[in-house]
Amino acid sequence: MAETRAEIEILGQRLVVRGEGTPEYIRHLADYLDTRVRTVREQARVYDPLRLSLLAGLHVADELFRTRESEAALVARVDRLIERLDDVLEARSPRRRLDEGTPSEA
């Protein structure tokens, strides 16, 4: 994907950033981060922009790690279900019964 530029605003600070994705996508990311920073400011009553940014970054990193863990658990569960389904289908397969010498049901 080509690198694009977008003007964003976080905590009232405007800047032009380059990144992958459309300018709309980059602005959407900036809006999300700005919301997280403002939430941290309201909850923690921290007003220093650097500290706010660091705390918001930790919150976003926590979200990312928890989402990855949840996704991995879901993938593992789906894999187990697929394996069980494969076992059931294989056990009921007429071809398997023929291979084992059991007459198939037509």
Distances (CA, A) of 65 to 14, 15, 56, 62: 29, 28, 14, 5
Mean residue pLDDT across the chain: 90
Cα 79 to chain centroid distance, Å, stands at: 18
Query: For residue range 18-54, what is the model confidence (pLDDT) as tens digits?
Result: 999 999 999 999 999 999 999 999 999 999 999 999 9
What is the band of 93 on the pLDDT scale with cuts at 50, 70, 90?
A: confident
In single-letter form, the type of residue at position 85 comes to: L
